[in-house]
Structure 1
Amino acid sequence: MAKNKFHEGSGPSQRQLRVAETIRRALSEVLARGDVHDPELNRMSITVGEVRTSPDLKIATAYVLPLGGQGQDEVIELLARNKSELRRLVAKKLTLKFAPDLRFRLDETFDQMDETRRMLSDERVRRDAEAPDGAAEG
């Protein structure tokens, strides 16, 4: 069985995860240091929560969020506008033959965590969660 067939449908490979984390760190560093020649982008504090790569490592999708959550659409627009420069700066820090195409999406995990906290603080949910197995009422 071919190695690629073995990994199909089973989530990202170790190499994808390793490359994605390297890209995340490099992108975070570039943004934190203000290496991009765009004053609008450099004035913003941007968190790079996660990067996911395609199986062939040609596309890297960065999940980002501006500090405080303000100006989300503007951040995506600024990052997209500076995509080629960001790609070049990130590529310098990678040991890949080709630099992946960068794509940017809003990181919505913080919203999901807030919703989960809200749900878990609901009295009915807390009562059901704390009930002994099988004792929860519907």
Structure 2
Amino acid sequence: MRGMAKSSNRAGKAPTQRMLRVGEMIRRTLSEVLQRGDVHDEELAQMSITVGEVRMSPDLRIATAFVLPLGGQNKEEALAALRRNTVEIRHQVVKGGTMKFAPELRFQIDGTFDQMDATRALLASDHVRQDLDD
């Protein structure tokens, strides 16, 4: 019971160094797996997918990969292909890493680039530039 309270208290808090380290290791390995085309899926092999970040759950059992196809095109198709091949991708990631067990992989579209574009557009607007120039 005590362990459950500890993990639920992590919700909303900053990730630990261990979570960050494991997430980065999975991000690098996942990027390599996708780049080399180790997954046997015709549709996925034709896509170039960027893995921007991997966030780990506090217990390190779930890894959420934030991905984006090159150019931001066909996001839903890329997401569907990744989810369809999750078991094989998970196997390849663990095979290429130094982890004792394989975390569950989840995939989400990385909205970071869209947020950066929106921020740039906002900062370039006349109303905001007027405030910045003062």
Matched residues in 2 for 1:61 and 1:85: separation? Answer: 16
Which of 88-97 and 73-82 deviates more?
Answer: 88-97
Matched residues in 1 for 2:33 and 2:60: separation? Answer: 20
**What is the 5 A alignment of 1:1-138?**
8=10, 9-131=12-134
Deviation (angstroms), 1:42 = 0.6
Deviation (angstroms), 1:64 = 0.4
2:30 partner SS: helix
Tell me which amino acid in the other structure corresponds to 2:21: R
Q: Please, which runs of 5 or more residues in structure 2 have no aligned partner?
A: 1-5
Aligned residues: CA RMSD: 1.6
Matched residues in 1 for 2:13 and 2:88: separation? Answer: 33
Query: What TM-score do the two structures reach when normalised by structure 1?
Result: 0.87
Matched residues in 1 for 2:14 and 2:96: separation? Answer: 25
Query: What TM-score do the two structures reach when normalised by structure 2?
Result: 0.90
Matched residues in 1 for 2:29 and 2:19: separation? Answer: 15
Deviations 1:89-123 (A, max 9, x none): 00012222211000000001111001000000011
Alignment coverage as a number of residue pairs? 128
Deviation (angstroms), 1:41 = 0.5
Percent identical: 61
